[in-house]
Each structure stands twice: as C-alpha cells, then as structure tokens.
Amino acid sequence: MKKVVRQIAVLGLVVVMLVMAIPLSGCGRQVFTEEEHIERITERLQARYFGEDGTPTDRAIFGIQGEENVIQYVTLERFEVSIIYAFDGKPEYFMIQYFPVEIGYSFGIIFNNEYRSLGGRGGREGLNPFDYNEIESNNRFAAFTATPNSVVLATKYNNEWRFLQNGLFDNTQERIDRQLAFTRSRRGRRAITTHLAGIPL
C-alpha cells in the first residue's frame, strides 16, 4: 500500500513540474503578425526621422552621390516597410524603401521580436530589386550569406529559386544550391546570430 501511495505522489509531482514548466518554455514569447512587425518598425523609424509635428529631423537628411561624384543632400519625405521571408517561409527579415527613391533602401533582420539593421544600399533608379522587378510581396525571400551582416535576395521563378543581383535574375543553379544548402545547415542557422552586430532600430 505504501508503495502505491509513493508512486502516486511521485506521479503527482511530475505532473506539477510539467505544468509549471510550460510558461517557462519558448512558447511564452509573443508572436507578432506581419502587420504588427511593420507597425512596430514604422513607429521606431517615424520617431527617428520625424518630429511629433511631422517635421523631418536632422537624421532625415541623407547624403547621396550625384553627378561627377558630388555629394548631394536629400531630405527624407516618407518610407515604406515590408516583410521579407526566409527560405522556409518565416518572416525573418524586413526592408525599408526610402523616398525620394534616390536615397535607396535598407534591409534588416527580425530576431526574438527585435529589429537589427543590416545596412543600406542604392539600387537601379533607387528602387530595391524586388520593386524594380515588380515581384509580388508573397514571393520575396532573403537569406544570410557566409559573410556576416550580408543577405542575398531571392524569388521563385517558374517554381525554381532565382537570386536577385542588382535587379537581375541570377540563374546559376550551382550557386543557388550552395546557398540553400548553407542556409539550411546548422552553420547557416548559427550565422543568423550575426545580426547582433547590426544596428538596432
């Protein structure tokens, strides 16, 4: 009888420990929708570039390379934030397109509900490769390369992966297979932690 009581007590203790462990697991982290991520990023950028009355701040002035390599200063008018998917379809990246488009665009990573900028760049006519090629929002993907803080852009064309390079499709299948293999590997997943070197929004 004592043995049965002891077994019941142990079983009850195990159940209690399991119940208590549930809130401590990763399930406790809030999951944001794409719209909520965009709203959170937009709020931070709005506070950075514009005052409460909508007047551009000093940080809204960008220097861009003009004709004959002369630096011209342009004031930011607005920006658009969009979500970019990882190759597995998860919303792990974001993109900011600045206007006027001459300012260019920038990319960042979403990690544990925090946002890190991976730097900006210019593009054809100032547009990012996705917009330049008129690629639909649900067909925009990105992945880390082996180089820290660097991402490659990709899309699916005729049901095959294609990288975007300076607004053009790169259909070198060997390179695509190599990048996909790296992204899906343990080493590739560890590379995502290089976002810590990025600039927090």
DSSP state of 32: P
Question: CB-based contacts of 49: which residues, under 8 Å, 6+ apart?
Answer: 56, 57, 59, 60, 76, 79
- Residue 53 has phi, psi (to 5 degrees) of -90, 5
Identify the burial level of 182 via C-beta atoms within 10 angstroms of its C-beta, where 0-12 means exposed, 13-18 middle and 19 or more buried. middle
| pLDDT on residue 194 | 52
| pLDDT on residue 82 | 93
**Exposure on the CB side of residue 148, measured as CA atoms within 13 A:** 8
| pLDDT on residue 186 | 67
| pLDDT on residue 58 | 93
pLDDT tens for each residue of the chain, 201 residues long: 544 444 444 454 444 344 443 333 345 568 889 999 999 999 999 999 999 999 999 999 988 877 777 888 999 999 999 999 887 788 888 999 999 988 889 888 887 888 888 777 765 567 888 888 888 888 898 876 655 556 778 888 777 777 776 555 555 566 666 666 666 666 665 655 554 445 666
The residue behind tokens 């880390």 is: 144
**Exposure on the CB side of residue 18, measured as CA atoms within 13 A:** 6
| pLDDT on residue 86 | 83
Whole-angstrom CA distances from 50 to 8, 14, 56, 96, 178 are 64, 55, 4, 16, 42
| pLDDT on residue 80 | 95
| pLDDT on residue 110 | 86
E strand or H helix at 145: none
| pLDDT on residue 183 | 61
Question: CB-based contacts of 162: which residues, under 8 Å, 6+ apart?
Answer: 154, 155, 156, 169, 170, 171, 176
